[in-house]
Chains A and B, each alone.
Chain A
Amino acid sequence: MSFKEQVSSMNMEAIVEMCIDQEQQAIDLYTMARDQAKDKSARQKFQELIDMETEHKVALKDFELERYLELPPADLKVTDYLMAPNTRENMTTQQILILAAKREGKTARMYQELADLFVQDKKLNTFFQMMADEELRHKHDLETEYENEFLQEG
């Protein structure tokens, strides 16, 4: 069964479950990284990310439609050309932000591909588009934070 057929055969509930699983994977990654981190400020940053993803997971469960109606902000592409860091114990806050923004970008692309795959299916298309937009919004927020802190150019 192709991925498209697989997703088509799922009901909406199962699709939402799949997306929640995606969020959970991010939470697990950040939790592991937080527990490994030696630096206090790095631990703080990972905790913020865990909180953000948890909030997103809850929103998905409750399916807060109004949350998804807003158009996403422009993709700033601030971290697109930066090197992807590996998770390790002495990560800096700068690397954490790059890691997280890149991850949001990748997930957004995955949802966008799914949305494009189901252009004909209005319901699925809308759902995946909304998911892609939400991930882009996160990327935007993280990149704005990155810009403000690490590209002050002072």
Chain B
Amino acid sequence: MKRERPQSFNTVPIKERLTIPRQDMPEQDALQRSTNFLEVNLGLNPEQAVIEAQRCIECKNPTCMDGCPVNIKIPDFIQLICNEDFLGAADKIKEDNSLPAVCGRVCPQETQCEEVCVVGKRFEAVAIGRLERFVADYAMIHGNGSTKVFDKPEPSGQKVAIVGSGPAGLAVASDLIKEGHEITVFEALHEFGGVLVYGIPEFRLPKAILREEVANLEAMGVKFVKNFIVGRTMTIQELMADEGFDAVFLGLGAGLPRFMNIPGENLNGVYSANEFLTRSNLMRGYEFPEWDTPLYRAKHAIIVGGGNTAMDAVRTAKRLGADEASIVYRRSEEEMPARNEEIHHAKEEGVAFLNLVNPIKFIGDEQGNVIAAECLRMELGEPDGSGRRRPIPMKGSEFTMKVDMVVIAVGNGSNPLIAQTTPEIETNKWGNIVADEDGKTSMEGVYAGGDIVSGGATVILAMGAGRKSAAAISEYLKSKVGSVV
């Protein structure tokens, strides 16, 4: 993407920039942190942030922006950091991304903006994610809420219901409230933030950040309703016909845990990652006994899977006191979908990795508690269409390992509740809602985005989809006014 270069505030001569080392982010000591739930990464300090920003060579063709799913104006905010205008930098990011403190922490920058950063071709890429996190945190402490004072727009008289308070729903709320619409977010759980609060643990994303974001939106006028399950408490039709909502956005996520369908999955001590993480995060199982959520403290925990969910679960199990917490993964480490940083941190914290291993059966005692896992070793076969070598079971490689807790983290599907209660909304064979580029579904006035449409993806993609839907809903509402007049 060729574009006008932003005003430069970088005082380091261009030739010297490549000699500046990438700034390490301070983090909690591995041994210490593996027994607490405090955040692992501690963030850059202002001096480090400026030095890191000075590593940017201000490319004519800033490929970093192409690598970002919502095209944050990366070179622009980096220059503002060079000028020590941290609040300005935060505002710049907020033009495209309403949750920078979240994205700065959980986005897979190494496969997005940083992967294609020009400096990264020869040296280590500019630490864009760390810079994003730094300015977002700075703005939270020193700024005024969302940093810019919000000018309340004229009320439009139109009402929008947002179902689900994950990143997709929050992005829609943030965009549409600025246009004067009356916005209500309905959430099934008792906290707002979707996976960001019930899935991703405190040590990676402190809940206080989400509470602050929700408080900002509330201050802007967004209404939040918890413990409200659309499809059960009230249907979409009722929301529109009886409650007078002009449009509805569905940001339901992919919260239905998937199991492996092997014998023994219903034994005590076998959890879905979803249940395990929710118990720990949302019901504060990690603060037991102060919070009364019983969570079994395992001695030998295995977590089946290789994604971010598996890493979050295994690191949680370790922190809850497991002597041994291991990842059991069918493929090799190279294929793990989890972020490199999570794998690296898990290893530092003493997590064991059993790669090319697949459980085929869980064995229980007389009381129905899991006591062992029977596994098979896998070998890599021929590459498939995507070039990845497929794991194939090795004949006669069965072995049994002692376990007293198993967490299944092989993926999530979509909850069928809305499809069942709203047949007008088209779904595909996986149960995902079918929506066009702008999030428009087959039901008039109903839009959808995030994991419920794409299947399990990322925070930034869910947010990007939310913003596209917000723009489309805005147009739809305008056309509705037009047709009434």
**On chain A, which size bracket covers the interface?**
20 to 34
Contacting residue for A153 out of B306, B423, B428, B430, CB 8 A: B306
Q: Which residues of A contact B305 (CB under 8 A)?
A: 153
Tell me the chain B residues, 397-453 only, with Cβ under 8 Å from chain A. Answer: 409-413, 416, 419-420, 423, 427-431
Question: Which B residues, 277 to 314, have Cβ-Cβ distances below 8 Å to chain A?
Answer: 305-310
Q: How far is the CA of A77 from the CA of B427 in the complex (A)?
A: 29
Given A41-B427, A152-B337, also A74-B393 (CB < 8 A): no
Tell me, yes or no, whether B263 is within 8 Å of chain A by CB.
yes
Contact B431 A83 (CB under 8 A): no
State in angstroms the CA–CA spacing of A56 and B393 once bound together: 29
In angstroms, Cα B261 to Cα A83, docked, is 6
**A41 adjacent to B431 (CB under 8 Å):** yes
Chain B residues near A70: list those with CB within 8 A.
Answer: none
Query: Are B262 and A81 in contact, CB atoms less than 8 angstroms apart?
Result: yes
* Cα–Cα, bound, A154→B360 (Å): 20
Query: What is the bound-complex CA distance between A82 and B262, given in angstroms?
Result: 5
Q: Which of B200-208, B226-234, B345-353, B376-384 contacts A (4 or more CB under 8 A)?
A: B376-384
Residues in B with CB closer than 8 Å to A9 are: none
Q: Is the CB of B307 within 8 A of A153?
A: yes
**Given known A93-B430, A95-B261, contact A74–B392 (CB-CB < 8 A):** yes
Beta-carbon contact of B260 and A93 below 8 Å: no
- Whether the pair A39, B416 counts as a contact (CB closer than 8 A) is yes
Q: How far is the CA of A59 from the CA of B458 in the complex (A)?
A: 43
B390 in contact with A74 (CB, 8 Å): yes
Check B307 against A152 for contact (C-beta < 8 Å).
Answer: yes
- B306 — which chain A residues lie within 8 A by C-beta? 153
A77 x B393 contact (CB < 8 A): yes
Q: Which chain B residues (243-285) contact chain A, with CB distance < 8 Å? A: 258, 260-263
For the complex, give the distance between the alpha carbons of A153 and B305 in Å.
Answer: 5
Q: Which residues of chain B are within 8 angstroms of A77 by Cβ–Cβ distance?
A: 392-393
Main secondary structure of the interface of B (DSSP, over half): loop
Q: Which residues of A contact B456 (CB under 8 A)?
A: 152, 154
Cβ B429 vs Cβ A153 within 8 A: no
Q: How many Å lie between the Cα of A134 and that of B181 in the bound state?
A: 58
* B contact residues around A41 at 8 Å (CB): 416, 419, 427-431
Give chain A interface residues in 39-54, CB to chain B under 8 Å. Answer: 39-42, 44-45, 48
Q: Are the C-beta atoms of A40 and B423 separated by less than 8 Å?
A: yes
A85 touches B261 (CB 8 A): yes
Q: Which of A11-19, A121-129, A143-151 contacts B (4 or more CB under 8 A)?
A: A143-151
Residue of B nearest to A42 (CB): B429
Question: Are A154 and B431 touching (Cβ within 8 A)?
Answer: no
User: What's the nearest-Cβ distance from chain B to residue A69, in Å?
Assistant: 19
A93 to B: closest C-beta gap in Å? 6
**Using Cβ atoms and an 8 Å threshold, which residues of chain A touch B308?**
154
Q: A147 to B393: give the CA distance in the assembly, Å.
A: 14
Given contacts A41-B427, A83-B263, contact A153 B310 (CB under 8 A): yes
Assess the B261–A93 pair: CB atoms within 8 A.
Answer: no
CB distance A153 to B409 under 8 Å? yes
A62 vs chain B, min Cβ distance (A): 28
CB–CB B261/A151 < 8 A: no
Give the docked Cα–Cα distance between A82 and B358 (Å): 12
Q: Does B329 contact A (CB under 8 A)?
A: yes
In the complex with contacts A81-B376, A144-B384, A153-B261 CB distance below 8 A: no
CA distance A134 to B43 in the complex (A): 56
Inter-chain contact B262/A154, CB cutoff 8 Å: no
**Which chain A positions have C-beta within 8 A of B430?**
41, 93, 149
CB contacts (< 8 Å) of A76 on chain B: these are 381, 390, 392
B330 contacts the other chain (Cβ, under 8 Å)?
Answer: yes
Interface residue A94 (Cβ < 8 Å from any Cβ of B): yes
**14 chain-A/chain-B pairs, Cβ below 8 angstroms:** A40-B419, A42-B429, A77-B392, A81-B262, A83-B263, A93-B430, A95-B261, A149-B411, A151-B410, A151-B411, A152-B411, A153-B337, A154-B411, A154-B456
Could you tell me the distance in whole angstroms from the C-beta of B24 to the nearest C-beta in chain A?
28
Q: Are A150 and B410 in contact (CB under 8 A)?
A: yes
A152 CA to B308 CA in the complex, in Å? 11
- Chain B residues positioned under 8 Å from A147 (CB to CB): 390
Give Cα A105 to B195, complex, Å.
38
The 8 A CB mask of A79-105 against B (1 = contact, 0 = none) is 011110100000001110010000000
A45 to B309, CA, bound (A): 28
Distance, CA A82 to CA B263, complexed state (A): 8
- Which chain A residues lie closer than 8 Å to B412 at the CB level? 154
Q: Which residues of B contact A95 (CB under 8 A)?
A: 261
Q: Which A residue's beta carbon lies closest to that of B258?
A: A150
Chain A nearest CB from B172 CB (Å) reads: 23
- Decide if A94 touches B330 in the complex (CB within 8 Å): no
Establish whether residues A153 and B263, one from each chain, have CB atoms under 8 Å apart when the complex forms: no
Bound-complex Cα distance A75 to B330 (A): 16
Given A41-B429, A45-B429, 11 new contacts (CB under 8 A): A48-B429, A74-B381, A81-B262, A81-B376, A93-B429, A94-B258, A149-B455, A152-B455, A153-B306, A153-B307, A153-B331
Taking the nearest CB of chain B, how far is it from the CB of A147, in angstroms? 8
* A40 CA to B382 CA, complexed, in Å: 35
